[in-house]
Amino acid sequence: MNHNVIIIGGGASALMLASLLPKKSTAIIESNAKIGAKILVSGGGKCNITNAKMGTEYFLADKCFILPSLKMFTQEDLLHWLREQNLKPVLRKDTQYFCQNTAKELVDIFAKKVKKQKIFLDEKVLSVCKRDILFTVTTNKRSLSAKYVVVASGGLSFSRLGASSIGYDIAVSFGHSIVKTSPALVGFTVQAEQFFFKTLSGVSTNVKITVDNMVCEGALLFTHRGISGPAVLDASLYWQKGKIKIDFLPDFSWKHIQNSKKQISSLLPLPKRITKAFLVQLGLEDKPFYQITSAELDKLQLLHQYIFAPAGTFGYTKAEVTKGGVSTDEVDAQTMMSKKVEGLYFTGEVLDVTGRLGGYNFQWAFSSAYTCFRNLKGKIEEI
């Protein structure tokens, strides 16, 4: 069966692209039984669509590669497009835009937009090859051909929602290089010296984490496996291996409390359980603050710069995204087309582009889809 465009994957990037392309021009192949599975669970079920603060600094990527797409389809363009579809994004946490009630609002919009495209659900792409100007996409059910193939199959995170390595396999089969992948926006497991973290499971506090010269601020949540929460997830984006520094008392100064008669655990702006656990670790007694010696105060400074090496991460099963991916050196930033194979495109998370927490990954999925659309549109009209 011949199609103008075949899109591999039925996630965020694929759905935006198929929504923009002319009706009946496109076939979507999705291994799940439904489209947009990841959108539905994203942002705690409300989908953090984008962020009012947008810029290349919020991404781990080649800035020159992502800038044209972020400019071509900005967060404002996205919000405008969504409003035109009657979705009214709600601003939360200062800068983050979410669906009003549930992420299904967004998936329903896409479902309506793509209903005239051919959608193959429950169908797994196995390989892609090209002869002359035509690609053949082989699935577990059939072979399809098209002049243009868009790989929008995402990364390796959350395999229970359909994630697979197919995008990388296809890229490699066409001579592309893959930047080493690893789980990102994910919690850290800890080594024996930090096992006491586990006793704090369920407790959270605001921190500043420094990793690889990047500072990530926000909540840290202790869990039974280690640490998680927004600041930790962001930090995981920049973590290779090695040490991180956590300031458990950001913006706090000891000066104003020096003569206080209150117990240390009552005085510090931390949940008492955390202070008490650290006091035990430091071999300090919980006592009125004015009684502590300068040597003890030195020890307490550790709360400002707790340095340790995480054991690892919670892995792909818990990671919101995959960092690394198809090398952007070999993809044209103005079109998303492969520089090696005419007619082969890559969009979204399959590329070596990863955003911080806060709607950046969806914005990239949509912006890169738009860039691809702009290029494909003219070509499809030529057919």
Ligand X SMILES: Cc1cc2nc3c(=O)[nH]c(=O)nc-3n(C[C@H](O)[C@H](O)[C@H](O)COP(=O)(O)OP(=O)(O)OC[C@H]3O[C@@H](n4cnc5c(N)ncnc54)[C@H](O)[C@@H]3O)c2cc1C
Footprint on this chain of ligand X (rule: CB under 6 A):
8-14, 29-32, 37-38, 41-43, 47-48, 124-125, 152-154, 157-158, 162-164, 166, 320-321, 348-350, 359-362, 365
Whole-number Å distance between alpha carbons of 244 and 78 = 35
Closest residue to ligand X: CB criterion: 11
- Cα–Cα distance for residue pair 223/214, rounded to 1 Å: 23
Give the closest residue to 279 by CA, choosing from 269, 295, 265. Answer: 265
Which C-beta is closer to ligand X: that of 13 or that of 263?
13
Angle at 185 between CA 201 and CA 99, to 5 degrees: 95
Question: Which residue, 158 or 314, has its beta carbon nearer to ligand X?
Answer: 158
Nearest approach in angstroms of CB 153 to ligand X is 4
Q: Is the CB of 174 or the CB of 308 nearer to ligand X?
A: 174
Q: Minimum distance from CB of 103 to ligand X (Å)?
A: 8
Distance in Å, CB of 62 to ligand X, minimum? 17
HSE, CB side, 13 Å, CA atoms: give it for residue 370. Answer: 19
Q: Which is nearer to ligand X, 265 or 359 (CB)?
A: 359
Q: How far is the CB of 22 from ligand X (least distance, A)?
A: 20
- Identity of the residue, 263 or 363, whose beta carbon is nearer to ligand X in the bound complex: 363
What are 160's two structure tokens?
């229970």
Cβ of 88: how many Cβ atoms within 10 Å?
12
The contacts of residue 164 (CB under 8 Å, 6+ apart) are 31, 124, 153, 156
CB of 276 to ligand X, least distance (A): 33
Q: How far is the CB of 358 from ligand X (least distance, A)?
A: 7
Cβ closest to ligand X, residue 139 vs residue 210: 139
Q: Taking a C-beta distance cutoff of 8 angstroms, is the pair 47, 37 a contact?
A: no
